[in-house]
């Protein structure tokens, strides 16, 4: 049986860190995860998914994230139920996260927070050689996002690089 979940989204509020009676840390949070399609009005909807994380990971998550943080989590779906104070049975479905990844830099997070907590995209950076930008995902783009020829001689996909000859028999599908 397989029960694995991978989510990428933004926190809807600051994580809530608590400790059990035995001293185990537990953090609960809600992730807003955009759907891949738009509705009839052309707007992208989101699902709000309740998550929980335990022990040292929970403490780290609470220390390094806040409302609006872009995170990726890996975990499993769990259902549980309990009886509330009115005697009604309450059913809860949540993701129990095992691992997490911070998906934006501290500077991007701080810039977003300074924009009055909005979910705006960071401003494009001017990417020239003297800027000291070491982000490999920005390589080959100028400040307006246009593709530039790569100056890396070891890049096989650069314009001047060698061509790769692959026959259909070499493909796995």
pLDDT digits (tens, 9 = 90+) for 35-64: 988 888 888 899 999 999 999 999 999 998
**CATH number of the domain where residue 31 is located:** 2.40.50.140
Q: Does a structural domain hold residue 139? A: no
Which domain, by its residues, includes 12? 5-35+44-114
Please state the pTM of the whole predicted model.
0.61
Q: Does a structural domain hold residue 160? A: no
Cβ(60)–Cβ(82) below 8 Å: no
Q: Does a structural domain hold residue 159? A: no
Q: Does a structural domain hold residue 68? A: yes
Q: Does a structural domain hold residue 84? A: yes
CA-closest candidate to residue 92, choices 77, 110, 113 = 77
CA-closest candidate to residue 8, choices 120, 99, 139 = 99
Q: What is the DSSP letter of 53?
A: E
Q: Does a structural domain hold residue 74? A: yes
Q: Does a structural domain hold residue 55? A: yes
Q: Does a structural domain hold residue 22? A: yes
Looking only at the bridges linking them, the beta strands covering 16-19 and 25-38 are antiparallel
| Counted domains in the chain | 1
pLDDT digits (tens, 9 = 90+) for 86-122: 999 999 999 999 999 998 877 777 777 777 455 444 4
The whole-number pLDDT of residue 158 equals: 58
Q: Cβ of 29: how many Cβ atoms within 10 Å?
A: 27
């Amino acid at each position: 049986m397989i029960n694995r979940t991978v989510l990428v989204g933004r926190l809807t509020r600051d994580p809530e860190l608590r400790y059990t009676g035995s001293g185990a840390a537990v953090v609960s949070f809600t992730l807003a995860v955009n759907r891949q399609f738009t509705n009839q009005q052309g707007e992208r909807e989101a699902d709000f998914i309740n998550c929980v994380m335990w022990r040292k990971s929970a403490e780290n998550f609470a220390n390094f994230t806040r409302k609006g943080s872009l995170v990726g989590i890996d975990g499993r779906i769990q259902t549980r139920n309990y009886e509330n104070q009115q005697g009604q049975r309450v059913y809860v479905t949540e993701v129990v996260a095992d691992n997490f990844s911070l998906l934006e830099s501290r500077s991007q997070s701080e810039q977003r927070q300074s924009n009055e907590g909005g979910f705006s995209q960071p401003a494009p950076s001017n990417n020239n050689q003297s800027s000291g930008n070491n982000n490999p995902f920005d390589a080959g783009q100028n400040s307006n996002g246009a593709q530039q020829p790569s100056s890396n001689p070891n890049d096989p996909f650069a314009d001047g690089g060698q061509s790769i000859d692959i026959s259909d028999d070499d493909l796995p599908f």
